[in-house]
Structure 1
């Protein structure tokens, strides 16, 4: 229990008291009813983005529910309790929860972490990591940690799901560099993949989805204009650092989204289309292609 609650930690064979814990507490938070409603919406957003059980999040939701039931509207408390129950129905992943707890403690108490990471492409490696930011992705139910990695002596972004093991180096503190930009680091990212240089992306959306696309602000650099060459079609301009997390978002629009720029991204989407044609047995010579079937899958 003491380890779960963060009072003690294990280093090798021995247990130690988390000395810094007594210096950290959350101040009393007084909210107006409409502010509490926003907190509820934020909680619901978190639950919808979660694909596994999270005991810490459940505890927070239940504490919020109890406070709101006593001090505000009972309905808010009931809805938060229901959100906690919904979260409890997600699959349990004890290894993931342990990794996340250690990451959070390293982040909160500014302690370095010894972790084993298994990248999507490549072999596992061990590194000493200083967590600077913990950031959720808007896509794919994923959580990332950004910080200094000793193996490259530079800033790296690691997906929490791919961290195989974490050990808190309880006596190895770190400080944030003076030049670390904080959340501004992600200004040029579509979601997570960041960088200083940007790529200009132009996407064309057909009339069936144009209004839906225009309803949202997809990126801080996003700019819309109606396509003069194709009436009813919408052009979306963005300047982003990397297209890695943009690509699945583009695929999600299917045949309603066409990549115009950059050429390299357009070519990549063309290759994806060719693979889909082969998957759906549309790779026959052009004279024998069933065009009606093609339209059913990819649209007009």
Structure 2
């Protein structure tokens, strides 16, 4: 009987902390007095103060806006999320993709995964923790983490970010001041990108790879994001991250032995598949740039033939002839 009573008290406290957290969030920046909370919860003020300490110890960012009021720092906190089993598994899938695709250590991703695992049922919980440990083994890149942190805060708080950026072909790093509008991870290239306005050199909206940034610093200057900016529209014809107002039509012929696999996936919003008499198929796409598409085409080997555009067909034909010569050289 004593064990049941103890469990009831724990559950009651957990529910009280949940209501307290929601009350503080709902009060916004003006906050709420402990006496008001005590009346709402039907407890003494001493209990409210103990609960406030418990929330603070649980890393809920509390502050005093004045006159004995308490509030949550809204811009530093994402509240508790309650998940169904199916929602938890959906997040677990996302976490597994993150682990498989991340090629660099991200301490925030590890921490988030460990916290989410507490909400997962077994055996998902144990496997999520194993995924977090696996991610901890990734190579460390302090500059990347610093750039990601600065750009994240700049994105949320609408603040400019100064970075040094070295392009894939460049030898020297150039200083840019970015207005981060959107952050986008790209699985095929194991990379993260920022979409935003660059004010010192390009003076236009650019897409930059975060891994190529060093010395990132969040500035006090704020910016206004254009009301008509829509990241989905910018990326709608991209195969990965490279969109274009003038997309290219690509037609690929696949052999019968891989046609079922081609049809199993929805590769791109623009795709159209037509069958061929021999049991194969032709996949037609409208993409912003063919550069990101080339590695995917190569992955199919002789089972995929580029029909158009002609420059892409010529490029891959030259690559395959060079590869054949390399293997015949021995």
- Is this a same-fold pair by TM over 0.5? yes
In the TM superposition, structure 1's runs of 4+ consecutive aligned residues that sit over 4 Å from their partners are none
- Structure 2: segments with no counterpart, 5+ residues: 1-58, 62-71
1:192 aligns with 2:192: no
For residue 52 of structure 1, give the secondary structure of its aligned residue in structure 2. coil
For residue 225 of structure 1, give the secondary structure of its aligned residue in structure 2. strand
What per-residue deviation string (whole Å, max 9, x for no partner) do you get for residues 131-176 of structure 1?
Answer: 111111130211111111121110111111111221111x111121
What does 1:131-280 correspond to in 2, within 5 Å?
131-150=180-199, 151-169=201-219, 171-228=220-277, 231-280=278-327
Task: Tell me the C-alpha RMSD between the 2 structures.
Answer: 1.9
Distance (whole Å) between structure 2 residues aligned to residue 168 and residue 46 of structure 1: 26
**Cα shift at 1:183:** 2.2
2:103: which partner in 1? 51
Tell me the TM-score normalized by structure 2: 0.74
Of 57, 71, 81, the match for 2:129: 81
- Structure 1: segments with no counterpart, 5+ residues: 8-20, 283-292, 294-300
Of 147, 150, 159, the match for 1:102: 150
1:14: which partner in 2? none
Distance (whole Å) between structure 2 residues aligned to residue 33 and residue 277 of structure 1: 51
**Cα shift at 1:30:** 2.3
1:34 aligns with 2:86: yes
Larger radius of gyration: 2
Distance (whole Å) between structure 1 residues aligned to residue 231 and residue 192 of structure 2: 17
**Cα shift at 1:125:** 1.4
Distance (whole Å) between structure 2 residues aligned to residue 161 and residue 26 of structure 1: 26
**Cα shift at 1:23:** 3.0
Distance (whole Å) between structure 1 residues aligned to residue 164 and residue 296 of structure 2: 29
Contact 2:143 2:213 in 1 (8 A): no
Distance (whole Å) between structure 2 residues aligned to residue 26 and residue 95 of structure 1: 25
Of 128, 137, 140, the match for 2:177: 128
Tell me the TM-score normalized by structure 1: 0.81
For residue 31 of structure 1, give the secondary structure of its aligned residue in structure 2. coil
**Cα shift at 1:223:** 1.0
**Cα shift at 1:281:** 3.8
**Cα shift at 1:29:** 2.0
